[in-house]
Amino acid sequence: MIIENKRVVVTGGASGIGKALCEAFHASGAKSIVVVDINYEDAKKTADSIGGLAIQANVAVEEEIQNVIEEANKFAGGIDIFCSNAGIIGVPGFMEASVEDWSNMWSVNVMSHIHAAKHVLPQMLERGEGYLVNTASAAGLLTQIGAAGYAVTKNAAVSFAEWIKITYGEKGIGVSCLCPQAVRTAMTAGGPGVAGVDGMLEPDVVAQDVLDAIKEEKFLILPHKEVAEYVKRKGNDRDRWILGMQRLQKQYEDFFASYEKDN
């Protein structure tokens, strides 16, 4: 899809990858950009810097996503590209997470994509053209050491994006799924953790990869190129891959045991 003159919505647009996406779309000639975030103050700063519209919303709530789409339609007359980018790391571990913690992670990391697609697809299908970008994670293709909720919800996010592409791809709907490892955002402010094994990328680099994928209508966006090889190894021999991940898990446990002992 050509980005120039397109009407864009970006959730999680106040900072990190979302903010970088808004700036990249603006630089590429998008007609309008709606910046959505639960943090309205910073969303407005992003929007004001690019002549866009800021909307406060909790993406986990279906009615608030519906309101975003309605307000974006009023602002620009429609939506051509919807970037469902907001997400949370949630509570790490497994035993530590409550039912409420799981529900919160599921609502933000999975249901936000479902709400967006459900309510923006009708206008796109009517026009015969539209594009969805869903931010997941390399954890959705592989797994996340030390964080069951993140691993499971990001895996579901990838599966949902695949389903949308399979179901509506022949009806003019483009779909891309963003699956980075560590990116320099508020989420990684305390350090990249095991996700930083292949380095930490800047948000603007990731945003450019997203725009390139939209132009090429490429489904999987892998800013960390190593992830493609990991996915291949996993598919070729899952048992061997799991053994390798168990070794990584042991390294993770040993590191934190040593850290806690020294501190």
Q: What is the pLDDT of residue 251?
A: 83
Q: What is the pLDDT of residue 257?
A: 61
Q: What is the pLDDT of residue 260?
A: 57
- Given 40, 131, 150, 259, which residue is catalytic? 150
Indicate the fold that domain 7-224 takes in CATH.
Answer: Rossmann fold (3.40.50)
Please give the model's pTM, rounded to 2 decimal places.
Answer: 0.92
Instruction: Calculate ∠ Cα 246-247-250, nearest 5°.
Output: 90
pLDDT per position as a tens digit, 112-140 = 999 999 999 999 999 999 999 999 999 99
**pLDDT band, residue 252 (cuts 50/70/90):** confident
What the block records as the tokens of 73 is: 């339609």
Give yes or no for residue 25 having a pLDDT over 60. yes
pLDDT per position as a tens digit, 103-115 = 999 999 999 999 9
What the block records as the tokens of 260 is: 């806690």
Between residues 176 and 198, the one the model is more confident about: 176
Q: Is 40 a catalytic residue?
A: no
Where does residue 191 fall: left (phi above 0), alpha (psi -120 to 50 degrees), or beta otherwise? left
Give yes or no for residue 93 having a pLDDT over 80. yes
